[in-house]
């Protein structure tokens, strides 16, 4: 994970319980407030298991104006999971259960490579900056509306714009569609810089596009990447994936075996 930030494992037929247990064994505590938990109507019955799908409890494809569908469309913006929380997400593990016969891919951008490629004067400018992240903000840019009660729960979180990944010590641009403003900067000026950085980081040389097969497990480091879902005919084809995300808190000690 420290070297590649995204790993793809084919032919891993996880059940929900196995996926939850695997994530905990690999990286410790699970995140239970990553996104759809906000709507509070998960059909899966486990708060740490995110339903990345376009179907309802009966397995029927969601109607185009269904609120759950519109909320899920937010995943088509470049983002990093749970950056609007503190702690945010560390590793996300996405398991493909049902995939359409047409492309319904996910793209990933390497934010370490994007940082490394910045000119020195931009790197200097970014030093010490902090960013407010809010899912209310990112969803609102798409016209999705939250009730006042929901907004109360969605105050957002502040994180450094440039993060250093422990162990690899690589620096990474920590931006996303959730990034709403740069602290202490005029809002428009901050948003323009954030847009520029996202545009820079999502150039083709930094992007991997994953074409899903049933049984794929993809693990990514949210500190070091952004990702987005690509559009497909979601009124026609069911697509069902399950995601578990770990909490970005102090990493569990690596236990040496046999000693
Ligand atoms: C996610 C996500 C994108 C997709 O699971 O966190 O953003 O392609 N998924 O479903
Ligand atoms: Mn996501």
77 C-alpha vs ligand 2 centroid, how far in Å?
9
For the Cβ of 111 lying below 6 angstroms from any atom of ligand 1, the answer is: no
Domain with residue 215: its CATH number is 3.60.130.10
- Looking at the CA of residue 94, tell me the nearest atom of ligand 1: 5
CA–CA separation, 68 and 125 (whole Å): 39
Q: Whose CA is nearest to atom 2 of ligand 1?
A: 75
Q: Is the CB of 92 under 6 A from ligand 1?
A: yes
Tell me the helix, strand and coil percentages in the chain, rounded to 5.
25, 25, 50
| Residues 55-114: tens digit of each pLDDT | 999 999 999 999 999 999 999 999 999 999 999 999 999 999 999 999 999 999 999 999
Q: Whose CA is closest to atom 8 on ligand 1? A: 229
Q: Which residue has better confidence, 255 or 220? A: 220
Q: Residue 221 forms beta bridges with which residues?
A: 91
* Average confidence (pLDDT) over 36-55: 83
Is residue 143, in this structure, part of any structural domain at all? yes
The answer to whether position 119 is within a domain reads yes
Nearest residue to 81 via CA among 120, 121, 130, 135: 135
- The total of structural domains in the chain comes to 1
Answer whether residue 257 is part of any domain.
no
Give domain status of residue 254, yes or no.
Answer: no
Whether residue 46 has a cis bond before it, omega within 30° of 0:
no
Instruction: From the CA of 34, give the closest atom in ligand 1.
Output: 6
Q: Is 259's pLDDT higher than 50?
A: no
Q: Compute the C-alpha angle 223/225/230, nearest 5°.
A: 140
* Residue ranges making up the domain that contains 93: 6-247
Q: Give the three-class secondary structure for 117.
A: coil
Atom of ligand 1 nearest to the CA of 245: 6
Atom of ligand 1 nearest to the CA of 35: 6
Residue nearest to atom 7 of ligand 1 (CA): 75
The neighbouring-strand residues paired with 128 are: none
Per-residue confidence (pLDDT) for residue 253, from 0 to 100: 58
Q: What is the pLDDT of residue 42?
A: 73
The pLDDT-based confidence of 256 (bands split at 50, 70, 90) is low
Beta-strand (E) ranges in 56-173? 89-98, 106-110, 130-133, 157-160, 162-164, 171-173
pLDDT digits (tens, 9 = 90+) for 174-184: 999 999 999 99
Euclidean distance between CA atoms 239 and 83, whole angstroms: 25
Q: Which of 121, 138, 140, 112 is nearest to 195 (CA)?
A: 138
Q: With CA atoms as reference, report the closest residue to 191 among 155, 236, 137, 121.
A: 137
β-bridge mates for residue 114, sequence order? none
What pLDDT shows up at residue 30? 96
Q: Note the pLDDT tens digit of each residue in 213-252.
A: 999 999 999 999 999 999 999 999 999 999 999 999 987 5
SS3 (DSSP) at 240: strand
Is any atom of ligand 1 closer than 6 Å to the C-beta of 227?
yes
Q: How confident is the model at residue 37 (pLDDT cuts 50, 70, 90)?
A: low
Task: Give the H or E element holding residue 111.
Answer: helix 111-116
Q: Which helix (H) or strand (E) holds 21?
A: helix 16-27
Classify 24 in phi/psi space as left (phi over 0), alpha (psi -120 to 50) or beta. Answer: alpha
| Domain membership flag for residue 1 | no
**Domain assignment present for 255:** no
Whether 139 is in a domain gets the answer yes
> Ligand 1 within 6 A of 52 CB?
yes
Q: Is residue 98 part of a domain?
A: yes
Contact 250, 89 (CB under 8 A): no
User: Where would I find the beta strands (DSSP E) of the chain?
Assistant: 6-9, 50-53, 89-98, 106-110, 130-133, 157-160, 162-164, 171-173, 179-182, 207-210, 217-221, 225-229, 240-247
């Amino acid at each position: 994970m420290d070297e590649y930030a995204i790993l793809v494992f084919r032919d891993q037929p996880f059940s929900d319980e196995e996926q939850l247990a695997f994530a905990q064994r690999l990286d410790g505590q699970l995140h239970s407030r990553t996104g759809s938990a906000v709507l509070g109507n998960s059909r899966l019955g486990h708060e740490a298991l995110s339903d990345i799908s376009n179907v309802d409890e009966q397995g029927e494809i969601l109607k185009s104006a269904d609120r759950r569908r519109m909320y899920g469309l937010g995943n088509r913006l470049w983002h990093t999971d749970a950056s609007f929380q503190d702690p945010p997400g560390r590793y996300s593990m996405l398991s493909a259960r049902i995939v359409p016969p047409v492309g319904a891919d996910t793209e990933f951008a390497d934010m370490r490579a994007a940082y490394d490629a910045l000119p020195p004067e931009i790197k200097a400018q970014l030093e010490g900056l902090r960013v407010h992240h809010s899912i209310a903000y990112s969803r609102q840019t798409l016209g999705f509306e939250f009730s006042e009660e929901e907004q109360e729960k969605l105050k957002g979180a502040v994180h450094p714009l440039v993060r250093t990944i422990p162990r690899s010590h690589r620096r990474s641009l920590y931006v996303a569609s959730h990034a709403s403003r740069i602290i202490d900067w005029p809002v428009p000026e901050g948003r323009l810089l954030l847009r520029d950085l996202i545009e820079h980081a999502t150039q083709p040389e930094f992007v991997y596009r994953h074409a899903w097969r049933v049984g794929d497990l993809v693990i990514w480091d949210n500190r070091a990447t952004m990702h987005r879902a690509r559009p497909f005919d979601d009124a026609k084809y069911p697509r069902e994936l399950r995601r578990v995300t770990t909490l970005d808190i102090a990493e569990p000690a690596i236990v040496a075996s046999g000693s």
